[in-house]
Amino acid sequence: MSVRVGILGATGAVGQRFIQLLDDHPTFELAALTASDESAGKPYREAAKWRVDTPIPVDVAEMTVRRTDPDAVPDDLDLLFSSLPSGVAVDVEEDFARDGYVISSNSSNDRLAEDVPLTIPEINPGHLDLIEVQRDERGWDGALVKNPNCSTITMIPPLAALDEAFGLDRINVSTLQAVSGGGYSGVTSMEIIDNVLPHIGGEEDKMETESRKLLGDFDGAEIEWHDVDVAASCNRVPTLDGHLENAFVDLAEDDLEVSEIEDAMREFPGVDLPSAPNQLIHVFDDPERPQPRMDRMRGQGMQICVGGVQSTPHGVKFNCLAHNTVRGAAGASLLNGELLHENGYL
Amino acid sequence: MSVRVGILGATGAVGQRFIQLLDDHPTFELAALTASDESAGKPYREAAKWRVDTPIPVDVAEMTVRRTDPDAVPDDLDLLFSSLPSGVAVDVEEDFARDGYVISSNSSNDRLAEDVPLTIPEINPGHLDLIEVQRDERGWDGALVKNPNCSTITMIPPLAALDEAFGLDRINVSTLQAVSGGGYSGVTSMEIIDNVLPHIGGEEDKMETESRKLLGDFDGAEIEWHDVDVAASCNRVPTLDGHLENAFVDLAEDDLEVSEIEDAMREFPGVDLPSAPNQLIHVFDDPERPQPRMDRMRGQGMQICVGGVQSTPHGVKFNCLAHNTVRGAAGASLLNGELLHENGYL
Amino acid sequence: MSVRVGILGATGAVGQRFIQLLDDHPTFELAALTASDESAGKPYREAAKWRVDTPIPVDVAEMTVRRTDPDAVPDDLDLLFSSLPSGVAVDVEEDFARDGYVISSNSSNDRLAEDVPLTIPEINPGHLDLIEVQRDERGWDGALVKNPNCSTITMIPPLAALDEAFGLDRINVSTLQAVSGGGYSGVTSMEIIDNVLPHIGGEEDKMETESRKLLGDFDGAEIEWHDVDVAASCNRVPTLDGHLENAFVDLAEDDLEVSEIEDAMREFPGVDLPSAPNQLIHVFDDPERPQPRMDRMRGQGMQICVGGVQSTPHGVKFNCLAHNTVRGAAGASLLNGELLHENGYL
Amino acid sequence: MSVRVGILGATGAVGQRFIQLLDDHPTFELAALTASDESAGKPYREAAKWRVDTPIPVDVAEMTVRRTDPDAVPDDLDLLFSSLPSGVAVDVEEDFARDGYVISSNSSNDRLAEDVPLTIPEINPGHLDLIEVQRDERGWDGALVKNPNCSTITMIPPLAALDEAFGLDRINVSTLQAVSGGGYSGVTSMEIIDNVLPHIGGEEDKMETESRKLLGDFDGAEIEWHDVDVAASCNRVPTLDGHLENAFVDLAEDDLEVSEIEDAMREFPGVDLPSAPNQLIHVFDDPERPQPRMDRMRGQGMQICVGGVQSTPHGVKFNCLAHNTVRGAAGASLLNGELLHENGYL
């Protein structure tokens, strides 16, 4: 009765997180791993330099890595998770989907494509049915589903809560992002010790566009993007994991109490999926929280933390935090995989 | 012909910076150092744990530290710099001013007092004449002048440039502040390694209020605060020196080119004082700059760096950086001291 | 049937670790918490600023903190753990022991006293019987047992293995110690970011003397210290937890293979106590391990990791690592408490 | 009258330091820059990503980068500095020397070759005459001279002082090395934040062998290596610049006072070359010094700092520090270049 899953790009940082999160999963059984051609044919423990803070699962260590190609992967896989580099993913994911595979992908390509669902199960599960449009248009048996960028996903839950309760007009957001978001070798120590990098290529655009698609309406044919204005400034800081963000939000409603804001967030419903946290948003009363090192692992790294909610002359400001390689990457794809399963797409 | 100066609170982090910046000063001659009663009577090299990155000046090392009391300080000092803890400064600075001393203070007390000038020489030098009001009301022979908080001073020059050119409507700003801003022992290593602290007590208020006073108009009798709305979120990050800030600004004028914004900043005039940089604001074309470690010492730590200027749906966003213990503290008071001298107040 | 235990100095960093480690302990039941007079009378959640990375246990949060005084603590406690500052502990621990309490203490006072057992259960459990001498000489019903300093405990297991197998002649050791060893506020961020502190007051002496007592022989009356020569250089580095040490050891036997050295360590026996790791020493083949962040939590933070074993012209060199606030502090006292229980001293 | 110099491998981290140190040099005039084929033909400012903390010299910015080939470089260059990757340098440096160029190289290849001088001007300037042997054997008009590895050079000056005064028997040394030693991209932030890397490939060997050659005797025909035993353990720590080392040394003489040790170091003579510090070794009385961030720039980064000198049961222990990319790399080659000039080899 278990669902057989594979991982495309299994040796990288996000690939390793997939393996960690799939260990002891109640429904998903890991059955195939792919990587670059140089790794193909090797046992996983040789192909990957394991860097996650829990040991490599014993059976995974001995699995043979396959080429990242539909012909090299068993036909009976129900679901593929993808953490391929986007330059590779853009072709490869389509090859797999055309070949009948259902893919839940963390890669950044195609997130804004009109017929590709970009989903967070707690926020816009209904967008998943864009798969029907996708299959019609592309003639695929498979499907391609995306989750948003780690910096986007950190702020969307509290913003969705505010949108539903009071209406969103405008967002300015500043990020303090962890180095793991750049991949294992993405940020050198010479760049970041005693420093901040005030620019992350493409990141601000992702936050500004993905947010509007995520918060948009799906009428069964297409997504109408939300018309909220978003301006983002993205910074890399010397933390290992956990993106912290300062949001300044104008709401359609005025004169709200801080407690009303906090209640809207606390009461925002979660979903009943194996990897979802009981409560989606945890709101701290203590203005000194959330902090990346202290709070990134709340809810097994899947909860969104909020704090420092305060009124401003035009709305509200608050801080939010999520674990960027769990909730912001592998955990996000995993949750979308669980939603695909729940909704009968596998 | 030299001006004899003293330092109140000379053993702390900002006190040490004063000593460093006064070494070889063209007009100011350091003639007295004060500290707490336990330090009084000791040679400075014993009283202070010297932590600045240049050696302690030889003659300063042997100066005897005095009590922080008007009776313990020579009468012929022309100017006192103060970096006392604000809880102490609130009474002591008034004692000195009443006794006839002119004080350029970095301490946070009294910055918003109606008859205390809060000045940056390049921004609002005319506010200095509030000293006349102060002397009338308080019956002082001396005077008390303040510089703003380090997080405020970082953003004010570019904002003043925009205000003058286009008019300011609204500011959201997020800060990434260095640990030195908390004093030598203010931020523990256990708090900040692999972490961010999303709250700095009182800091957001300072940015929101001091900015409006600094950008305000002085009619000879009182300061009319600027009516710009400011909302700030302040964070402590693991950098040693240099506050980086992300500003989102709504302007009174629409549809401006990025180049117009940058030109307004680049062309904003400086002042002709010994410690002032030739150009007040340096604007980088490279969106990856300014960075704290690379750029904090531009203009001997006295220049304001700006980068990442971009349009947003409602105005403009940019990043700015200043050295928080030079331009943001000791250097700010020093420059006010030079302005006091230039304007004949000593 | 459970053993009722208390914690002296429960609000500090080591006190919090005691609480974390005692949560769900199979035999010990936490029944009392003491702290300074200012904290007495408050619920623990108010008295302590909780900083451990797991939530404060719900029942502990509501326990009322007591004064650190025999009169303020229930008589029926079987065992007290102490993490008092050594300046306080020197008198207070004796008061409690005189009053009949058995104390397993992490404080540094009295570790070298002739009639105080300094024990690591896997290394010198027989030293515990020095309690008989202690009770005779001091007329106590209670007892005082100590564990060594965190920097000592990191290297002793591999050294004891080598001593038993080949005989120890001489040790040079260099430490790279985490900031948590200095207590929550012991090392400021200004001191340690982009820096190393090459001196930790008293630390080198502790390593040099405690090691010789720990490895010494107990003849039923007194400990004869081991005559190995130890020279230590201690450094603080910018890591949060986990002391790494480079040891250079001259052995009584020559021409040993690296594999013989490693086998002696791997095969060194553990003990059967609830908090002891299955295997005391884990030896890595990979010369790049152990690393503090990757390996400090092995065996729930109670295992000693060794790597980089190599021959030198006069013996052997290796690296070792232990979690300084678990195996090196609270966990060490806890294990001694379990040994006291096992040996019938409670 | 000036000496025309070139830099082989000018775009890397050490190449940039060469450019910085040659700016305003009293005798050397920078006349050529080489790099990889992709960079050849570009102006230097485009070919190099400038990362040094002083601005790129204006005239250097516009110099055209050449291929790293004798045919691509002017014939009239008197001296070449090399910071090529050792895999490239092994052939290229020989090509240049054969073609008549004199090369002062920081690359690690050939340092132990019998006919290649490995020199530090203050320690073994006489070894330079091995060039005569080299020219005889290889039939070169040019010459190849090397400086030691950064971790070696840090400890050699104090060891040479002790060897001359008291005789060296044996050395155990542990290093705490900065990330810049691994090159700009050598150490990732994910590896080193909150961590230590206990292994640097090849580094321990370099310290053990280069030291014996440097301290050896040259009889006009060959170098007789010193017979001191050296065992080294090398660690990478989260500092940017400055290698700190803990040395444990057995001396031929016993029962020395700490003051005798310190005097031998303080009085060790320097050399009269433009880039040499006035005093080679600075000895701190304060056991808390030297520290990397506070002391790496002493003597413009060319001085060796020593502290924490103490007796041990078998000799002495001390800490030493040098700036690894100045005294330990570019500055070391520059000083050898000045020695070549002084001794008439150019």
Domains defined for chain B, CATH in brackets: 3-148+329-342 (3.40.50.720), 150-323 (3.30.360.10)
Confidence at residue A96, expressed as pLDDT on a 0 to 100 scale: 97
> C195: distance to nearest CA of chain A, Å?
11
- Grade residue B313 by pLDDT with cuts at 50, 70 and 90: confident
* HEC-encoded secondary structure of B137-165: HHCCCCEEEECCCHHHHHHHHHHHHHHHH
pLDDT at A7 over 90: yes
Query: In sequence order, what E strands does A213-257 have?
Result: 217-218, 223-224, 229-236, 243-251
Task: Identify the closest residue of chain C to A300 by CA–CA distance.
Answer: C54
pLDDT at C313 over 90: no
User: Can you tell me the distance from the alpha carbon of C243 to that of C235, in angstroms, rounded to the nearest whole number?
Assistant: 10
Instruction: Please state at what angle helix A150-166 crosses helix A258-266, rounded to 10 degrees.
Output: 120
pLDDT at D153 over 70: yes
Over range A41-54, report the average pLDDT. Answer: 92
Picking from D172, D231, D291, the nearest residue to C196 by CB comes out as D291
> Which of B294, B296, B303, B323 is the best substitution to test chain D (most D C-beta atoms within 10 A)?
B294
Nearest to D246 by CA among C247, C205, C323, C178: C247
Helices (H) and strands (E) in chain D, counts: 11, 14
- Render pLDDT for B269-311 as a digit per residue (tens, 0 to 9): 999 999 999 999 999 999 999 999 999 999 999 999 999 999 9
Over range D14-38, report the average pLDDT. Answer: 96
| Phi/psi at C209 (5° precision) | -95, -45
Which has the higher per-residue pLDDT, C337 or B50? C337
For B38, residues 6+ apart whose C-beta sits below 8 A from its C-beta are: none
Q: What subunits make at least 3 CB pairs under 8 angstroms with A?
A: B, C, D
pTM of the shown model: 0.96
Instruction: Please state at what angle helix D258-266 crosses helix D150-166, rounded to 10 degrees.
Output: 120
Picking from B51, B53, B193, the nearest residue to D194 by CB comes out as B193
- Grade residue D54 by pLDDT with cuts at 50, 70 and 90: confident
Confidence at residue D53, expressed as pLDDT on a 0 to 100 scale: 79
| Phi/psi at B343 (5° precision) | -90, 10
Confidence at residue D1, expressed as pLDDT on a 0 to 100 scale: 67
Mean confidence (pLDDT) of chain D: 96
> D51: distance to nearest CA of chain B, Å?
8
Is residue B92 within 8 A of residue B71, CB to CB? The reply is no
Confidence at residue C1, expressed as pLDDT on a 0 to 100 scale: 67
For A330, residues 6+ apart whose C-beta sits below 8 A from its C-beta are: A14, A15, A17, A18, A20, A21, A81, A83, A106
Active site residues of B: 150, 243
Is residue D8 within 8 A of residue D33, CB to CB? The reply is no
Which residues in chain C have Cβ-Cβ distances shorter than 8 Å to D288?
A: 197-199
pLDDT at A321 over 90: yes
Instruction: State the DSSP code for D128.
Output: G
Over range A180-194, report the average pLDDT. Answer: 94
Picking from B180, B191, B194, the nearest residue to C190 by CB comes out as B180
Active site residues of D: 150, 243
Q: Tell me how far apart the terminal alpha carbons of chain A are, to the nearest angstrom.
A: 12
- Render pLDDT for B205-243 as a digit per residue (tens, 0 to 9): 999 999 999 999 999 999 999 999 999 999 999 999 999
- Grade residue A314 by pLDDT with cuts at 50, 70 and 90: confident
Over range C325-334, report the average pLDDT. Answer: 98
- Grade residue B1 by pLDDT with cuts at 50, 70 and 90: low
Confidence at residue D55, expressed as pLDDT on a 0 to 100 scale: 85
Q: Does D193 sit within 8 Å of B53, measured CB to CB? A: no
- Render pLDDT for C190-228 as a digit per residue (tens, 0 to 9): 999 999 999 999 999 999 999 999 999 999 999 999 999
Mean confidence (pLDDT) of chain C: 96
User: Can you tell me the distance from the alpha carbon of D9 to that of D13, in angstroms, rounded to the nearest whole number?
Assistant: 9
Over pLDDT 90: what percentage of chain C?
Answer: 95
Active-site residue (options: C127, C150, C226, C282): C150
User: Can you tell me the distance from the alpha carbon of A244 to that of A211, in angstroms, rounded to the nearest whole number?
Assistant: 17
Over range C173-194, report the average pLDDT. Answer: 95
Picking from B174, B244, B314, the nearest residue to A246 by CB comes out as B174
User: Can you tell me the distance from the alpha carbon of A128 to that of A109, in angstroms, rounded to the nearest whole number?
Assistant: 17
Which residues in chain C have Cβ-Cβ distances shorter than 8 Å to A51?
A: 294
A51-55, B115-119, D82-86 — most confident range: B115-119
ipTM surpassing 0.90: yes
Is residue A102 within 8 A of residue A340, CB to CB? The reply is yes
Confidence at residue C331, expressed as pLDDT on a 0 to 100 scale: 98
Q: Is C150 in the active site?
A: yes
Is residue C207 within 8 A of residue C108, CB to CB? The reply is no
pLDDT at A51 over 90: no
User: Can you tell me the distance from the alpha carbon of D330 to that of D201, in angstroms, rounded to the nearest whole number?
Assistant: 21
pLDDT at C88 over 80: yes
Mean confidence (pLDDT) of chain B: 96
pLDDT at A1 over 70: no
